[in-house]
Every structure is written in structure tokens, then in C-alpha cells.
Amino acid sequence: MSQSSEPGAVAPVAWREYDAPALPRVLQAALAAFVEHGYHGTSVRDLARASGLSVPGLYHHHPSKQAILVELMEATMAELLARSRAALAEAGDDPEARFDLVVESLLRFHMARRAQAFVGSSELRSLEPDARARIVALRDEQQAMVREAIETCVAAGRFATPHAGDVARAISTLAIGVAGWYREDGPQAADEVVRRQLGLARAMVLPASDR
């Protein structure tokens, strides 16, 4: 797979483990501001102040607020794709393991990177057409990993759904939903959330007799 779809990304070895996002300070400030006020409710002056920069200083590194949003979304997708690839590499050739681990990776990312997931979902509409096309292509690449894992299991006689694309989209929606309600201090531990949600994902693809 082409590395051009991974802007600046290095595939994590331990794809289940998360530290604080490794974002430059302007992107950190933008992430917090876009979550709280939205893209259109945040000014360049707001971003400069939150970053500890002057407006000219911010423009020295980033040509526009739009460029900052694009860079933030590209960084988000680069990390998600890298972790998903690492999960698939761990799974090897076993069809069901590939499905389980790529879905687990998607779930864990949305649990650990809730702010990025929120901005990625809510501000896609704020991207200019060329930038939107680039981000959508990266999202499609992630979606294809889930769809291909389902199709491989169907071909191997492990799953029974005739609608792999629809199920892949439903699983992505499931992960986005988890990002909306999961909290580290909530009643369910992270591993339990993954176990339950993966069970829901599997229920979409197993033969009716196995449900």
C-alpha cells in the first residue's frame, strides 16, 4: 500500500497502547478549540493565542486556518491507518483474526482519540473540496480494510453476510458512536467495551444459526 496515504506516519508497534497525541502545539490548540467552539467558531487569532504565538508567527508555519484543519485530520487518519495495518499484520492470514483485530483497532482508536474522532466526523463538511477529497480517500482506505476482512471471512465460509460493504459502514458507525459515550472513568473498562462492541460487530456477519 502506498506510503503517500500516510502523511508523516510511523506504524505503531504496540497498536493497542496509547499515549497523549503527538501533535505540534498549534494542532493541539486547534483540536481543543474545534471541539469546544467548532471550526467556524474559532478564529486564527484564537488559535495563535492558544498556541502562544502571534498571528504572523502562526501564519509563518500554517498558511491558513483551513490548512490547520487539514493537517489535523491528516494526522488523525495517518495514525488510525497505521494502527489498523499493525493490527492486520499481527493477525496474519487467519480470516477471523483479521476481522477481530481490525475492528478492535478501530474501536480502541475511537475510545482513545475521542477528540480527534469528533473533529474528524463533525468538521468534514468544513473542508474545501480538494482537501475533503483527500480525507475521504483516507477514510475509504480504512473502510476497505474492514470490508476486505469481512469478504475474506465470507469467502472462507466463516461469515454469511451478503452485504460486506454495508456491514463495514455499520461497524465504522458503531466505533464513532463509542467515541461519543465512552469515558476512561466510566462503568465499563476498555477491554470490556471492546469485547461487547466486537460481539455486536460479529452479530452482523455470522450466520443466523450462530447468533
Q: Are 178 and 111 in contact (CB under 8 A)?
A: yes
Tens digit of each residue's pLDDT (9 = 90 or more) over 143-186: 999 999 999 999 999 999 999 999 999 999 999 999 999 999 99
Q: What is the pLDDT of residue 34?
A: 98
Task: Summarize the confidence of residues 67-71 as an average pLDDT.
Answer: 98
Identify the three-state secondary structure at position 12: coil
Residue 90: pLDDT above 70? yes
The residue extents of the domains of the chain are: 65-210
pLDDT in tens, 42-68: 999 999 999 999 999 999 999 999 999
How many other CB atoms are there within 10 angstroms of residue 137's CB atom?
11
**Binning pLDDT at 50, 70 and 90, where does residue 7 land?**
very low
* CATH of the domain spanning 65-210: 1.10.357.10
**Which residues are CB-contacts of 176 (< 8 A; sequence separation ≥ 6)?**
110, 117, 121
Is residue 18 classed as helix, strand or coil in its secondary structure? coil
Secondary structure letter of residue 160 according to DSSP: -
Whether residue 114 has pLDDT greater than 90: yes
Angle at alpha carbon of residue 13, lines to 120 and 119, rounded to 5°: 10
Backbone phi and psi for residue 63, each to the nearest 5 degrees, phi listed first? -70, -20
> What is the band of 206 on the pLDDT scale with cuts at 50, 70, 90?
confident
Q: What is the 3-state secondary structure (H, E, C) of 31-92?
A: HHHHHHHCCCCCCHHHHHHHHCCCHHHHHHHCCCHHHHHHHHHHHHHHHHHHHHHHHHHHHC
